[in-house]
């Protein structure tokens, strides 16, 4: 999909309490209310008459509220192909553009048709879930009126195009540098410290250790249970290993008994890296650089720093 651009971006609440969200998204429509305003007046752009109607209907409300309601209807009516419209449904952000044409009406409401299906994904196919959206965008769903302009269009562009801000890029680059340094430090760890680090990494993820390091079956270093689904995992820790040791471990522990095997090696032989594709799918190879990434996620950089000081 080509990169997304737009002249203006607007948020719309599809019906009171979102009652039109599912229908609008499934049918390719942008639904709107204004039951007291006729389609004829809207499509003829009788804005003076419409404004007077709204003032009568909303009598007693502040002038600013009436004006905002009037502007919302006019924005929907006059919106062109260069504008982008967003809404929220099923805890996701959805976006579309409007097709040329007049306001129409069916038994549900007035509406404009969209020029493309509503989408809940970025141009790279990533779901636009609320949990992954920047807070400045997700807060739009709290807007109480019908339509508002998106105040952070650059942020919306980056989100839909799957790009990052300069500061996010800088963080990613510095994190990659940190992980490189941590990987070098991990290679310098004493064997017992290396075992302890592996234990800390996996336990920080919330998994429960049910075996003691080096005190169970041959080669078994950590046996873990994931506390929610109660699935069992093996984490085997090796000071030095090649491809043959990986195969031996894969045979030793049945994939029917264990969800996955993590094969963690301090000093991997070259054939592990060069023939990585031969490793069984239920075995996760963890070399120092990958362990460094886990350690950074677990907040263990300072622990590693202290051990190599």
Other Cβ atoms closer than 10 A to 307 = 17
State mean pLDDT over 94-117: 96
Cβ contacts of 95 within 8 Å, gap of 6 or more: 84, 85, 86, 118, 119, 128, 160
Chain segment 61-84, per-residue pLDDT in tens: 899 999 999 999 999 999 999 999
- How confident is the model at residue 222, as a pLDDT? 86
Coil, strand or helix: which one is 252?
helix
| Domains observed in the chain | 8-161 (no CATH), 167-308 (3.40.1350.10)
Coil, strand or helix: which one is 144?
coil
- How confident is the model at residue 212, as a pLDDT? 61
At residue 161's C-alpha, the angle toward residues 76 and 154, to 5°, is 60
Tally of CA atoms within 13 A in the half-sphere of 189 that contains its CB: 28
Contacts of residues 116-121 at CB distance under 8 Å and 24 or more positions apart, as own/partner, are: 117/28, 118/24, 118/25, 118/28, 118/87, 118/94, 119/94, 119/95, 120/89, 120/90, 120/92, 120/93, 120/94
Chain segment 217-239, per-residue pLDDT in tens: 444 588 899 888 898 998 999 88
Residue 216 pLDDT class (50, 70, 90 cuts)? very low
The answer to whether 20 and 109 have CB atoms below 8 angstroms apart is yes
State mean pLDDT over 10-17: 95
- How confident is the model at residue 67, as a pLDDT? 93
Asked whether the whole model's pTM tops 0.85, one would answer: no
- How confident is the model at residue 217, as a pLDDT? 44
The answer to whether 190 and 296 have CB atoms below 8 angstroms apart is no
């Amino acid at each position: 999909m080509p990169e997304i651009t737009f002249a203006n971006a607007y948020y719309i609440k599809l019906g009171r309490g979102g009652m039109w969200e599912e229908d609008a998204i499934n049918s390719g429509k942008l639904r709107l209310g204004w039951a007291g305003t006729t389609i004829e007046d809207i499509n003829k752009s009788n804005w003076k008459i419409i404004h007077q109607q709204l003032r009568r209907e909303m009598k007693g409300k502040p002038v600013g509220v009436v004006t905002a309601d009037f502007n919302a209807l006019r924005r929907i009516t006059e919106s062109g192909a260069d504008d982008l419209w967003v809404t929220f449904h099923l805890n996701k952000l959805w976006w579309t553009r409007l097709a040329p044409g007049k306001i129409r009406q069916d038994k549900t409401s007035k509406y404009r048709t969209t020029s493309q299906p509503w989408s809940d994904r970025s141009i790279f196919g990533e779901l636009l879930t609320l949990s992954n959206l920047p807070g400045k965008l997700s807060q739009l769903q709290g807007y109480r009126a019908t339509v508002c302009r998106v105040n952070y269009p650059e942020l919306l562009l980056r989100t839909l195009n799957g790009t990052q801000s300069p500061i996010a890029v800088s963080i990613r680059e510095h994190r990659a540098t940190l992980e490189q340094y941590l990987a070098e430090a991990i290679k310098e760890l004493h064997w017992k410290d290396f075992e302890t680090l592996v234990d800390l990494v996996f336990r920080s993820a919330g998994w429960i250790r049910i075996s003691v390091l080096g005190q169970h079956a041959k080669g078994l270093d950590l046996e873990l249970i994931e506390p929610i689904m109660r699935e069992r995992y093996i984490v085997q820790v090796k000071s030095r290993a090649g491809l043959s040791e990986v195969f031996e471990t894969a045979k030793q522990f049945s994939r029917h008994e264990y969800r996955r095997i993590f094969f963690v090696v301090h000093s991997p032989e070259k054939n592990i890296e060069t023939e990585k594709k031969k490793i069984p799918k239920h075995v996760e190879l963890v070399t120092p650089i990958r362990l460094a990434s886990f350690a950074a996620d677990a907040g263990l950089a300072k622990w590693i720093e202290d051990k190599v000081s």
